[in-house]
Every structure is written in structure tokens, then in C-alpha cells.
Chain A
Amino acid sequence: MSSSSTTTTTTRLLMLKASDGVTFEVEEAVATKLGAINNMVEEEGSEDLICLPNVNGKFLGMVLEWCKKHANNNTNSDKGNDEVNKWWDKEFVMDLDQNTLYHLLMAADYLSGTELVDLLTEKVASMIRGKKVEEIRETFKIKSDFLPGQEEEIRKKNSWAFE
């Protein structure tokens, strides 16, 4: 493929409308990183306005930012590109506060952004790893709903995992 760094090939633009009315104009190649949008484009191939009533503008913007980065980095098929993507992904999830992380994950899942879902689930998994059960509950604000004795029973069956 010839270099496309400055080419102005007629890239199609899509309009994406978030739940709060914020609209994004996005190159097709970027938006179709999202499975859900790709499906719609393939189905109808129109230049319709795509309404996304389940995603708030703030998070849709972040999802698209991620897509843009990955769409750009994928065009030049460098070997070091993988590294760049990885580094960028790391930066991307590093400073996410929990609330944003969850919203983003829900948005990415809803839009079928598989790679982004993988990245964000990994982030959630890293928050579980190495924590005691009490700390997990504390981190994720989950209340135990076991009946008295039930939890102990599970622990007893696999005592090695709790030592």
C-alpha cells in the first residue's frame, strides 16, 4: 500500500448521535472499528445519521478517540506499531476513574468494540487480582448476599485458595 499520510482520499463521514444529543462526525474507517456500527454500515450502506440512545456523549467521545487511535495506527503496517498501540492503550486506561471505566466498558460492549472491551475488562480484572475478598467487595461496592454459613462452606471446600 502506498503511504496515505497526507492523501485526501474521499473518506466517508458518518454522523453519530449520542443519547444527550451530542453529535460526532467520524470517518467511516474509524467508526467501523465498532462492530455495531460496522454492521449497520454494511447492512444499508447509507450515510444515515446513526443514533445511539444508550451512550452518553462524553463516553461515546472517548470510545471514538480510542477507535481513531487504533484505526490510524493500523494503517501503517509497521512492526513497532503493536508496541505503540500497547503503550497508548496503557496510557488510556491508566488514569480512568472507576466511574468512567464502567461507563466506557458498557458503551464499548454496547457498540461491540471487541478490542476495547478486552482492554477494559483486563483493567477490571487487574483491580480484582491480588485482593482479598473483603477488599474486592470494598472496591466494587458489592454487598455479600450469602446466607450465614454459605460463604464458609465454599471456603472450606477450597481452603487452599484462601491461605
Chain B
Amino acid sequence: FSYSKIITDQSFGFGRRKAKRPSSSSSSSSSSSSSYSMSESGASKFFSIVSDDLLLEVFLLLPHRRYLIQCSTVCKRWFSLISRPEFSRRFIEYHERKRSSDCSYSLPYTLLLRASPNTHRPPICDILSKESKSLHGEQSPSVGIYSHILPQNGIIRASVEDLVLLSRYPNKYCIYNPLTRQGLWLPVAPRGYCFKCGFACEPKSSGCSSTNISDQYRFKVLHIAGFSNNWNNRNDYVFDGELFCSETGKWSKLVFSFPQRLAPNLKFVADFVASRGILYSLVEGVDDNQICVKGIVALDLSMDDTSEEDRNRCRFIHLPNNFGRGWRARRGKVCFGVVRGQLRLSQLVKINEEAVLKVWKLDCSNNDVEWVLVHHARLKCAEETSTSVAAFHPYNGDVVFVLRDEEIYKFEIGEEKYKKVGEFWGLGLYCTKEKLPASLRAFTLVYPSWPTPISKIP
């Protein structure tokens, strides 16, 4: 290559030609002058003459709002640049686009495992990714961060993105962001106590994009007080629910039902889990005189009419065909969660010396839902330890969190790689080691670059 011969100007007689400089329109359209001379300067000079646009370009690349806020206290200029509403919107859009287009893009996350569902302050095991530790700051404890940060008066019931739903007996709910500590207690639910609940949070459609960032999400909270007294139709389970919607700020009635024969002696395994505007809950029933997982109840919240019972709203999803039945489908052997917004179901069964792990994802792309087996792996495990899947990784489908006795391991499926990431402390008072797999509740928090704001109730 014969380029970049450095020649001094004198050796060429180009002086007669019209020399040009880049037109100002092609360089960045910054508000400050684009001409500069920095012959003797250093950092301080650079930051005094660098254009607003270029500086904003730097701020845009910071991974989280935490860093923006910190930068805004560096000097007045940085403060005024970062405080521009159009910059905030651009920051959110930039990171959203990056997240949806780059499948290797990872966000900080926290996994919260709660031991027993019935106690008010149950033992919690929290597992924070490295990045989420830095978001929570240096001063926060490395373990027990959530018992530290969650309000004392609420029990965690559900999580979506970086928000949690807390409940307080008998019928109070709070939407809470554990990072920013912004919280909102909802009006008291009309009837009954919190039997089962669910929480969905989704961006409002871009069509009615509000200028206010804190107003861009819609929250829905489902409150089920219990079975209905309406036993007119003896073949169906009928549920009396209430649905809170942040846009109206009110609770409205939501009744749903499904045939009893699908899950005789029905029991909900846990609260509902949200994925793409639909709430899912694993249910148990009696099968061959055994209590075992029978299927999944799916509840579509997007339907407008909440006034009366709607058969289409509720759907019963049967277990995959190759799912082990009977004792294999007992509660502690089945795990259920969301990976990248897609529902996953796992079954881990130990036969003789060998444990077999199967993982399915729920494909909703067609009108009909369909289970797709994504993992079928054999695990070596020591004879005396019990192993169960505690939770799914929020965005890596090849990783599950595994419970072994009282310890939590991050397990890479197929690689046979375990890494201890946490353990339960003080379990004895509340729950035995043997009961732990079946009573474990997992909540995943994923931190978007801009913490999800909680709008006020109208």
C-alpha cells in the first residue's frame, strides 16, 4: 500500500489550487463552535471546548441512569446537558434498541429466592450479578441486600423487570422499585385477602407516547380473593378476581373459570408470573391419587371487558407430552419461569444415580400454544444430596439456578459446570431442608438502563 507518504507542503506546488476545508454542514451540527485549537492543552481544555453534542454522545454510552445522575453533579454544564428531557428520551431509546437488537447484550440482574410462602419475613437468599452489585452501590451489603432494601411491611409476591409487587395482609398491594426505592401503595383491594396475585407492567403503545417519562408504563395487578361462591356451574372452577389498572387507578371485577376435570382438587403452586401481558400460574391437582402439577392457567389481561366472566380470557395449558407424570411431576421437581419474556418449564427427576433435566419453552407464535423441548440433559449428582431447579436465568436460556440442600448453584446446562452463588441462612426456624425445594419462590429482577418509573395513580 502506497499511502501515507508524509511529504511536506513545499515539495508540492499545490498552492495555486483552491484549497478547501470541510463545510460546516458536514461536521457535527453542534451548538458551540466547531473550530478548535488545542496545541498545548490537556483534559481541562478539552472539556471546556468540546461541543455539547460530543459530550452528550459520551453520556449516551454510560450503561445506567445511576452514572448519569452522578455525572450531573460534576459541574453545571454537565448538569444542564444531562437534565435535558430530549436527552433522557434518547438515552432510553438508545439502550432499548441495543437491548432488543443485540442478543448478547446483558443487563444486571438479581435473583431473589424466598424460602417459605407463609411467614412474614421469611429467609431470603439473594444472588446479584456483578453489574447489579455496582448499581446498588458499594455500601450495600454483599448478601442480604434485599432484606435490607425491601420495605419491612411487605411480602414480595411478583416481579417484572426491575419492579416488585409487595403485599400486606389482608388486601394491600405496593408496586416498588428496589433500586430507586420509589414505591406506590395501591388503593385497598375491594374484597377478601390476598389469596393469589399477579403483576404485569408494560410500556404503553408508542401511539400515545406521553412526554412524561414517568408515565410511559402501564401496571396491572391481579388480586384473587378465592374461589367464587357462584357454584351454579358445578363443572367449572370460578374465580372472583379484581384487576387494578394504573391508567384508571381503580379496581374492577375480573371473573374467570376453567373446567374442574382439568385439575381435580385444584391448588395454585404460587402466585402468577407475567409474560407479554399474560399471567401464568402453575396449578396442582390430583392424578392417580397423587398430588402433582397438572398444568398452567393463563390469564389474558389485555382484554378490555372485565365486567363479566369471559371464557376466552382464561386458558388451561396442558403439560408437554414428554413431561413425566405422577411422582415425577411433584412440586419440587418442577420449575416455572420466564426467560427473555418467554415462558419456560423444567422438570428434574433423579432415577438411580442419574438426574435428568428437561426444559421446555412455550411457543406462542401461532394461535395455538406449543411446548418446545430446548434441553434434555443428564446431571451427575452425589447420592445423598437432593437437587432441584430453583430458578431460570433471566436472559440466558442455557443457565439455570439449582438448589442443593441449602445452597444455590449456577448451572450451565450441557457444560456440567456448577458454581456456588448463594445459600440460605437461618432456614431451620421456618422450613426444613426437605421441604425447601417445594416451597421455594424465585423472583428475578432485571435492571434496564433507565429504572422503571412508577406513575402516580390518576
Contact = CB atoms under 8 A, between A and B. Distances in A.
A32 to B, nearest CB: 12
B233 interface: no
Interface string A7-20: 00000010101000
Given A36-B27, A112-B27, A161 B70 contact: yes
A68 B60 CA distance: 27
Nearest to B79: A154
Given A128-B62, A136-B74, A109 B54 contact: yes
Point out which of A35, A109, A144, A146 has the most chain B C-beta atoms below 10 A from its C-beta.
A109
Interface stretch (A49-57, A78-86, A87-95): A49-57
A124 B28 contact: no
Point out which of B58, B139, B181 has the most chain A C-beta atoms below 10 A from its C-beta.
B58
A2 interface: no
Contacts of A141: 42-44, 47
A23 B17 CA distance: 15
B50 A22 contact: no
Given A21-B9, A163-B136, A163-B137, A129 B63 contact: yes
A23 B27 contact: no
Contacts of B137: 160, 162-163
B322 interface: no
Interface residues of B, number: 67
Contacts of A115: none
Contacts of B3: 13, 24-27, 30, 64, 68
Interface residues of A, number: 69
A48 B6 contact: no
Given A39-B23, A112-B22, A49 B70 contact: no
Contacts of B79: 146, 154
A107 to B, nearest CB: 9
B212 interface: no
Contacts of A158: 69, 180
Contacts of A65: 4
A141 B47 CA distance: 8
Contacts of A163: 136-140
B5 A109 contact: no
A102 B54 contact: no
B231 interface: no
B18 to A, nearest CB: 7
Contact of A129 (B54, B67, B76): B67
A37 interface: yes
B12 A121 contact: no
Interface string A31-48: 000011101100000001
A17 B6 CA distance: 10
Given A61-B6, A112-B28, A143 B75 contact: yes
> 5 smallest A-B Cβ distances: which pairs?
A36-B22, A51-B19, A102-B46, A141-B44, A163-B137
19 contacts: A23-B6, A23-B9, A26-B3, A40-B22, A51-B20, A68-B4, A99-B41, A102-B46, A106-B38, A110-B27, A112-B22, A121-B54, A121-B58, A128-B58, A128-B67, A141-B47, A146-B73, A146-B76, A160-B180
Given A40-B20, A56-B39, A128-B71, 9 more contacts: A15-B12, A21-B9, A25-B2, A52-B22, A68-B4, A99-B41, A102-B38, A111-B27, A136-B74
